[in-house]
Amino acid sequence: MIRQCAIIFGCLAIGELIVHFTSINLPSSIIGMLLLTLLLKLEWIKLEWIKGIADFLVNALPFFFVPAGVAVMLYYDLIFASFWEILVASFGSTIIVLVVTGWTHQHLRVRTKKNRSKREKLIAR
Amino acid sequence: MNWIFQNELVIIAFTAIIYFGAQKLQKKTGIVVLNPILITIAIIIPFLIVFHIDYEVYNKGGKYIEFFLKPAVVALGVPLYQQLEKIKKQALHIIISQLIGCLVGIVSVVLIAKMMGASKEIIFSLAPKSVTTPIAIEVSKTIGGIAPLTASVVIVVGIFGAIFGYGIMKLTKVKNPIAQSLSMGNAAHAVGTSKSMEISPNFGAMSSIGLIINGIFTAILSPYILKLMGHWITF
């Protein structure tokens, strides 16, 4: 358990240091996440060392954000003043993202498949 | 009532109990709209208002819960590592579609909000709306948005995507299952991913790739995208 904490907070601390010294535009937690992935990939850290705490943290992730959500009560006026802007912009944009991302990926797959079969035909000739 | 809530442990226990109940409720009913986070917030805020408890008092305990957000994002490195092989196989397709999803997500929400006359603070708070909450909160703070507003918009967007996402994609002829689940993760982050997980573990895995990669892209790119857009639009 202590080793698990050491790994998670170690990655996070390194992330904080990197942000502090490089003024990079990334949250320290994201750097920590990429670092953890890298360390797992390099097999410097074994998956079973970290699995327990990682499963707990990932599963409980939505819970940790409740206080930030409650803080909305501080911005009451702001939200009600721009209620429709917020609603239309976020829902509209979500629909656009769903469709455009889906189309793009689908289109890329079809193209690669076509290219592959073209190549195979050429070779067959 | 107020004096009980001066104790931070009471606040933590109170929040956890409500969240646990909300989670049970959703599992029992299977209704996506009954999102545990949404319900917990919808119970706590009126409660605090009715009993005249300031947010500052609630946050004495709340800050200990929020503390775990950062380690939890680091822990996302584990599922990312587990999906690495799958990502590698179609790396280019995934990266290109996620990149476009990220760009379209930020640009469209900024443009729509701007057209409707939203203020600078609101626009910046909406910009990271597609990514998972802890990342969105960090991004929002970085670019000068209002983090709590971002947090609530993110959840609402996630629930909206989970409920209507697959229907919308069916209507617009996004038929390929991988494309569907990837864009679900891109647009509706963790909430959308849990919806995909219900369909099948494969859908869930692809959605989580979408949520992680778009999270990274949004964290890296959103300050630059907004700066670029600033050349054409005055926020």
Give the pLDDT score at A122.
73
Share of chain B above pLDDT 70, in %: 100
- pLDDT higher than 70, residue B224: yes
Q: Indicate the DSSP class of residue A68.
A: H
Q: Indicate the DSSP class of residue B3.
A: T
- pLDDT higher than 90, residue A72: no
> B78–A89: do the CB atoms touch at under 8 Å?
no
d(CA A110, CA B190): 28
- The dihedral of CA B97, B178, A36, B148: what is its sign? positive
The stretch A87-101 carries a mean pLDDT of 95
Q: What are the tens digits of pLDDT across the range A21-51?
A: 987 767 788 889 889 999 999 999 999 999 9
Residues 197-226 of B with CB under 8 A from A: 210, 215-216, 219-220, 223-224
Give the pLDDT score at A125.
64
d(CA A62, CA B224): 28
> B187–A101: do the CB atoms touch at under 8 Å?
yes
Q: How much is the ipTM here?
A: 0.83
d(CA B22, CA B222): 33
Q: Which positions in chain A touch B63 (Cβ < 8 Å)?
A: 67
The stretch A83-111 carries a mean pLDDT of 93
Q: Does the beta carbon of B81 lie under 8 angstroms from any beta carbon of chain A?
A: yes
Q: What are the tens digits of pLDDT across the range B155-193?
A: 889 888 988 999 999 999 999 998 999 999 999 988 888
Task: Judge contact between B42 and A69, C-beta under 8 A.
Answer: no
Q: Does the beta carbon of B80 lie under 8 angstroms from any beta carbon of chain A?
A: yes
d(CA B148, CA A64): 13
Compare CB distances from B66 to A34, A68, A86 and report the shortest one's residue: A68
Residues 111-170 of B with CB under 8 A from A: 112-113, 116-119, 121-122, 126, 129-130, 132-135, 137-139, 142, 146-149, 151-153, 155-157, 160-161, 164-165, 168-169
Element (H, E) at A119: helix A83-124
Task: Judge contact between B91 and A89, C-beta under 8 A.
Answer: no
Q: Calculate the alpha carbon distances from B47 to A67, A110, B14, B52, B154 in Å.
A: 14, 53, 11, 8, 23
Question: What residue segments make up the domains of chain A, in order of their start?
Answer: 1-64, 69-125
> Is A41 in a helix, a strand, or coil?
helix
d(CA B149, CA B191): 17
* Interface mutation target, options B70, B141, B153, B182, chain A, most CBs of A under 10 Å: B70
Single-letter amino acid, residue A72: V
> Mean of the per-residue pLDDT values for chain B?
89
Give the pLDDT score at B83.
80
d(CA A19, CA B229): 25
Residues 93-122 of A with CB under 8 A from B: 93-106, 108-109, 112
Compare CB distances from A108 to B96, B104, B146 and report the shortest one's residue: B96
Higher pLDDT, B78 or A62: B78
Which of B209, B217, B215, B187 lies closest to B84, judged by CA? B209
Q: What are the tens digits of pLDDT across the range B20-64?
A: 999 999 889 988 778 888 899 899 999 999 999 999 999 999 999
Q: Calculate the alpha carbon distances from A84 to A22, B75, B119, B140, B165 in Å.
A: 39, 36, 12, 20, 21
Compare CB distances from A100 to B65, B100, B126 and report the shortest one's residue: B100
